[in-house]
Copies of this chain bind each other. A is one copy, B any other.
Amino acid sequence: MDKILVVGSIALDSVKTPEGESVEALGGSAVYFSLSARNFVPVSLVGVVGEDFPAEHRKLLTDHGVDLSGLKTASGKTFRWVGRFGKDLDKAKTLDTQLNVFETFKPELGTAHRNAEFVFLANIDPDLQWEVLAQMHKPRVVACDTMNFWIGLKRPALKELFSRVDVLFVNEEEAQKLARTTNNVRAALALSAWGPRVVLLKKGEHGTLLCTGGKVYPFPAFPVKTVKDPTGAGDTFAGGFMGSLASSGGDLKDVGALKRAVATGSVMASFTVSDFSTRRLETLAKAEVEERFAEYRELLSLPASAAVPA
C-alpha cells in the first residue's frame, strides 16, 4: 500500500445553496481530497493555513489519519471562499475569494513527502504544480487538477504540465475550453493526446468519462435524491479515485483497476454532496463506502444476454 501526497488549498468556505448555508466551514481542494482518499491509503497533506485556522479542524484531519506534517502555518489569515449555488446546483457562483496566506504559498516538501509514490496536484497555480513536481523523487503516479481561471491565464504552462502527468482530472467546462470542442468525448480524447495516460472528464451529476488507451468509458454518477452542497465533489472524486488506485497497486495499464477507481470516486462524491462542507465525510464509515460501492455496481450491472433475438 502506498502513500499519497496532496498539495492544494485548505480553506474556510461560506456557501449558500437552496438547501441552506454554511459559514466559514472547513473546505479546500486538499481537504476534500484527503478526507476521501484516507479511507483507502495513508494521505499526507501539503499546504498552508493562517494563524486563525481553528484547532478543531486540524484535530479533525489528524483524527482521520491525515498526516499534517507538511501543513504550514503562516502569519496572516486562512484562505477564504464565498460562493453560492443556484436552483439547479450545477455551478458555483464565486462571490468572494480572499487568498490571504495562500497568495504567497510556496510548497516545500520534506524528505518523506518527496518520496511519495502517488501525488495529487490540486487546482493551484500551474507554476506551483511544477515546483512540487520538481521536488518529487520519482513518483509512480502524478495526477493533477486545474481550473478555468488558469486555462485563460496560463494555457501553455498547463499544456506543458499535462504532458508530464499520468492522470488528469478536468471538468466538462474546462475540458471543452482546453480542447476547443463542445463534444465531451472528443475533448477527453484530445486531452489524452496531450500526454496523460488517464483523463477523467467530470460532468457532476451526469457522471464521468474515463479516457485511456484511446478509448472512452462513460460512468454515471451515483444517483442522489437530495444534494445539499456540491462544493468539493470533484476533489472528493479525485480522492476516491487516487485512493482506490493506490490501494490496488497503481497499475495505470489495468483498465479494471481504473474503472474500480472511477466507481469509488463516484461513490465518495455522492456522500460529500449530501451535506454541507466536509460533514458527511467526517462521519463516514468504511462499511458505508463498501455498501454504496456494491450498490453502484449492482445498479450498473447488465444481464449477459445478447441484444438482438436470433
Contact = CB atoms under 8 A, between A and B. Distances in A.
A218 B306 contact: no
Q: List the number of copies, as a whole number.
A: 2
A93 to B, nearest CB: 16
A286 to B, nearest CB: 5
A21 to B, nearest CB: 18
Contacts of A88: 182
Interface in A184-205: 184-186, 189, 203, 205
Contacts of A309: 1, 40-41, 247
A186 B227 CA distance: 10
Contacts of A302: 256, 259-260, 263, 297, 300-301
A286 B306 CA distance: 11
Interface string A86-128: 0111000000000000000000000000000000000000000
Contacts of A222: 218
A207 interface: yes
A56 to B, nearest CB: 26
Contact of A293 (B184, B207, B267, B307): B307
A223 B294 CA distance: 25
Interface string A206-233: 1101000001111111111111000000
Nearest to A305: B260
B182 A217 contact: no
Nearest to A18: B182
| Most chain B CB atoms below 10 A, which of A87, A227, A297, A308 | A308
Contacts of A217: 223, 299-300
Contacts of A40: 307-309
Contacts of A203: 206
Q: Which 9 A-B pairs have the closest CB atoms?
A: A218-B220, A293-B307, A206-B206, A256-B303, A216-B223, A185-B223, A247-B309, A88-B182, A286-B308
19 contacts: A87-B182, A185-B224, A189-B225, A203-B206, A215-B299, A217-B299, A218-B220, A218-B222, A219-B220, A244-B307, A256-B302, A257-B303, A260-B302, A263-B302, A267-B307, A290-B308, A293-B308, A294-B307, A300-B302
Given A217-B300, A244-B307, 7 more contacts: A40-B309, A186-B226, A247-B309, A260-B307, A293-B306, A293-B308, A300-B300
